[in-house]
Each structure stands twice: as structure tokens, then as C-alpha cells.
């Protein structure tokens, strides 16, 4: 017997997943759950800026349709980043392209090449031709992410069939937030990676695993995005072996909520 506006206000305090479920209860609930009042609450506060930075104009007639657009992944910032809303919670996810990362000697064609791949989200991915110094780094501000959320940072990559030297020595993966540093070691190879725990800060475990999109990923660490804006830095390094390695493809680094 509650008015539609009251139902909409109540649903706005739930989650996108709960609102969609509620729409199946009755026509009254469906109308209330489709309200802009509900989906405005689920959208991030900076959604207008994200929409304006989209490479391809977004077509929507309601806040619910906008949420659905943003939950399907959107290329932003000239095609160098991917933004996505988690469908169940509305929390932000980002992928920084390889062009947004710091990759040692990536501008030298003797060591790295930049190619297009049909299965990539970006126009170019970085391909390691050969090097004895592998160092890949990235950074993000916590203000870009959903506050009060535990995030994981993941290096998205592939290992070619002709790869060599990548699993001769472990690579060190490190994540730093303020004075907090965690590190571990991982061997870059197909399937589950071997792990060796590091000694800096609290210990985290790294491994190589398959993704649903056909790529592979290494978790570089996790962090908490509180109310305070902080810079998060992460890296993967293998610089001590002084042996040649090649065959690694880098698409970018993803930041997504952990559950």
C-alpha cells in the first residue's frame, strides 16, 4: 500500500542487484525500481564526468539505462582507460592500458613492440621482444575508486608460445599505499604460478591464473580505498637475473573490488 515514491526511496538504499530482483515482485515494484531516484543513488557521484570522457557517446534515456551502459565497460580518456560498474554492487572498476603504465625501455623497438590485437580492449598492447631488465609499474588515486572498499590490482597479460626466460627466476610484485608495502614473488608461466613470500610489510601471495576473457592475470596486491585520497603504486620487477627473456604481452592493470 506504500506510494511508488516511498518504494523508490526504500529501494535506493539497497543495491542494483536487489532493485532488479524487487522489480519481479509486482508491477508496482517494477515501476518503483525503474525510477531515476533509485538508479541515481547507484551511479557514482562523478558519473557525468565519466560520460563526457567516453570515447563513444553513450545512448540512454534513464538513469537505469545509463547504469547498464556503464556496467558493460566504457573506453574513456582517449581510449587509454576502461571504466566499468560492477553490476551487483555499483562499485567502480578501472583498467589502465599498457600505455598508461611505466614499462622500462618500452619506447625502444629493440626491446618492446606495440601491436594491435582483436581480443584486446585497447588499440595497442605491449609485447616484450627481449630484455634482461623487466620492470612494469602503475599507479592510481583512491579518489577515483569507490570509497570504503577493498580492491585488488591485477596485471593483465599473456605469455606467447615462443616465450623464453620468464620462469627462470621469480619476479617480485609489490604494492605500496603510503607507508604500507606488501610484496611477494611469482614465476611467470602458464597455469598456476609458483609462489615465494616476500618480507616487506604484510605478506601477500601472487599467482598467475586464467581470466574469463582469455587473458591471464597476476594479482599485484590488495588495498583499502577509505575516505582519504591516497596514491597507490604497484609494480612487477625481475631485474636480478641478468638473463634474456621475451614473449610477454601486457594489456594493462585492472582495479576491481574483492569479495
Q: Which three cell numbers stand for residue 181?
A: 608495502
> Does pLDDT of 21 surpass 50?
yes
- CATH fold of 94-257 reads Jelly Rolls (2.60.120)
Residue 201's pLDDT is: 41
Where along the chain do its domains lie?
4-72, 94-257
- Lowest mean pLDDT, pick from 5-9, 42-46, 70-74, 211-215: 5-9
Burial of residue 161 (CB within 10 Å: 0-12, 13-18, 19+) is exposed
**In which residue are the cell numbers 609462489 written?**
195
Instruction: Read off the pLDDT band of 25 (50, 70, 90).
Output: confident
Mean pLDDT of 153-172: 94
Q: How many CB atoms lie within 10 A of CB 178?
A: 10
Residue 161: φ, ψ to 5°: -65, -25
Mean pLDDT of 115-139: 97
Instruction: Read off the pLDDT band of 24 (50, 70, 90).
Output: confident
Residue 29's pLDDT is: 86
- Lowest mean pLDDT, pick from 103-112, 173-182, 244-253: 173-182
Under a CB-based contact definition with an 8 Å cutoff, are residues 249 and 160 in contact? yes
Under a CB-based contact definition with an 8 Å cutoff, are residues 160 and 247 in contact? yes
Q: Show the 3-state SS of the chain.
A: CCCHHHHHHHHCCCCHHHHHHHCCCCHHHHHHHCCHHHHHHHCCCCHHHHHHCECCCCCCCCHHHHHHHHCCCEEEHHHCEEEEECCCCCCEEEEEEHHHCEECCCCCCCCEEEECCCCCCCCCEEEECCECCEEEEEEEEHHHCCCCEEEEEEEEEEEEEEEECCCCCCEEEEEEECCEEEEEEECCCCCCCCEEECCCCCCCCCCEEECCCCCEEEEEEEEEECCCCCEEEEEEEECCCCCCEEEEEEEEEEEEECC
Strands 246-257 and 195-197: unpaired
Amino acid at each position: 500500500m506504500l506510494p511508488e515514491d516511498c518504494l523508490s526511496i526504500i529501494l535506493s538504499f539497497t543495491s542494483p542487484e536487489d532493485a532488479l530482483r524487487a522489480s519481479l515482485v509486482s508491477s508496482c515494484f517494477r515501476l518503483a525500481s525503474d525510477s531515476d531516484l533509485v538508479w541515481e543513488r547507484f551511479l557514482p557521484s562523478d558519473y557525468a564526468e565519466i560520460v563526457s570522457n567516453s570515447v563513444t557517446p553513450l545512448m540512454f534515456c534513464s538513469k537505469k539505462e545509463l547504469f547498464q551502459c556503464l556496467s558493460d565497460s566504457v573506453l574513456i580518456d582517449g581510449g587509454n582507460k576502461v571504466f566499468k560498474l560492477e553490476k551487483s554492487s555499483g562499485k567502480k572498476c578501472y583498467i589502465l592500458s599498457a600505455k598508461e603504465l611505466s614499462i622500462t625501455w618500452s619506447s625502444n623497438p629493440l626491446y618492446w613492440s606495440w601491436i594491435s590485437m582483436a581480443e584486446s580492449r585497447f588499440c595497442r598492447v605491449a609485447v616484450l621482444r627481449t630484455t634482461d631488465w623487466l620492470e612494469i609499474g602503475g599507479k592510481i588515486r583512491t579518489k577515483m575508486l569507490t570509497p570504503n572498499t577493498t580492491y585488488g590490482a591485477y596485471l593483465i597479460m599473456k605469455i606467447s608460445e615462443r616465450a623464453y626466460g620468464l620462469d627462470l627466476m621469480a619476479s617480485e610484485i609489490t604494492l605500496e599505499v603510503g607507508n604500507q608495502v606488501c610484496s611477494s614473488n611469482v614465476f611467470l608461466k602458464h597455469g598456476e604460478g609458483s609462489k615465494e613470500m616476500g618480507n616487506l610489510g604484510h605478506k601477500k601471495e601472487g599467482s598467475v591464473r586464467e581470466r574469463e576473457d582469455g587473458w591471464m592475470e597476476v594479482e599485484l596486491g590488495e588495498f583499502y580505498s577509505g575516505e582519504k585520497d591516497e596514491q597507490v603504486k604497484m609494480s612487477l620487477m625481475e631485474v636480478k637475473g641478468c638473463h634474456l627473456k621475451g614473449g610477454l604481452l601486457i594489456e594493462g592493470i585492472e582495479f576491481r573490488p574483492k569479495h
